[in-house]
Chain A
Amino acid sequence: MKYVDEFRDGELAKGIAARIAIEADPSRTYHFMEFCGGHTHAISRYGVKDLLPASVVMVHGPGCPVCVLPIGRIDMAIELAIREQAILCTYADTMRVPASGGLSLMKAKAKGADIRMVYSASDALRIAQENPGREVVFLAIGFETTTPPTALVVKQAAALGLANFSVFCNHVLTPAAISHILESPEVRELGTVKIDGFVGPAHVSTIIGSQPYDYFAEEYAKPVVIAGFEPLDVMQAILMLVRQVNEGRAEVENEFSRAVTADGNAKAKALVAEIFELRRAFEWRGLGRVPYSALRLKDEWAAFDAERRFDMPERSVPDNKACECGAILRGVKKPTDCKVFGTACTPETPMGSCMVSSEGACAAHYTYGRFRNAA
Chain B
Amino acid sequence: MCLAIPAKVVELRDADLAVIDLGGVRKEISLALVEDVRPGDFVIVHVGYALQKVDPEEAEKTLALFAGLDAPARETA
Contacts and interface: CB of A to CB of B under 8 A. Distances in A.
A258 B54 contact: yes
Interface stretch (A2-10, A128-136, A366-374): A2-10
A4 B47 CA distance: 18
Interface of A: 1-4, 6-7, 9, 12, 15-16, 19, 36-38, 63-65, 91, 119-123, 142-143, 145-146, 148-149, 152, 201-204, 206-207, 210-211, 213, 226, 228-229, 232-233, 236, 240, 243, 251-260, 262, 265, 267-268, 271, 359
A6 B4 contact: no
Contact of B55 (A1, A226, A243, A259): A259
Contact of A258 (B5, B22, B58): B58
Contact of B67 (A15, A226, A229, A271): A15
B51 A206 contact: yes
A307 to B, nearest CB: 22
Nearest to A122: B48
B34 A257 contact: no
Interface string B39-77: 000101011110111111011011101111000101111
B49 to A, nearest CB: 5
Given A12-B66, A143-B1, A3 B6 contact: yes
Contacts of A232: 66
Nearest to B16: A152
Given A254-B75, A255-B75, A152 B1 contact: no
Interface residues of B, number: 40
Contact of A268 (B51, B59, B68): B51
Contact of A265 (B23, B34, B68): B34
Given A148-B51, A267-B33, A236 B66 contact: yes
Given A91-B47, A149-B47, 11 more contacts: A1-B22, A1-B23, A16-B66, A142-B2, A145-B1, A145-B46, A203-B2, A253-B75, A258-B56, A259-B54, A262-B77
Given A119-B48, A268-B33, A243 B72 contact: yes
Contacts of A228: 62
12 contacts: A1-B22, A9-B66, A15-B68, A36-B1, A64-B1, A146-B46, A148-B49, A202-B4, A229-B2, A256-B62, A257-B62, A258-B62
A202 B46 CA distance: 12
A65 B62 contact: no
A120 B52 contact: no
Contacts of B23: 1
Contacts of A271: 33
Nearest to B5: A4
Nearest to A141: B1
Contact of B48 (A149, A258, A262): A149
A350 B30 CA distance: 35
B58 A65 contact: no
B11 interface: no
Given A2-B8, A6-B63, A120 B47 contact: yes
Contacts of B55: 257-259
A268 B47 CA distance: 14
Contacts of B46: 145-146, 149, 203
B62 A255 contact: yes
Contact of B77 (A9, A146, A201, A252): A252
B2 A202 contact: yes
Q: Lowest 8 A-B CB distances belong to which pairs?
A: A120-B48, A210-B77, A3-B6, A258-B59, A254-B77, A206-B52, A258-B58, A203-B2
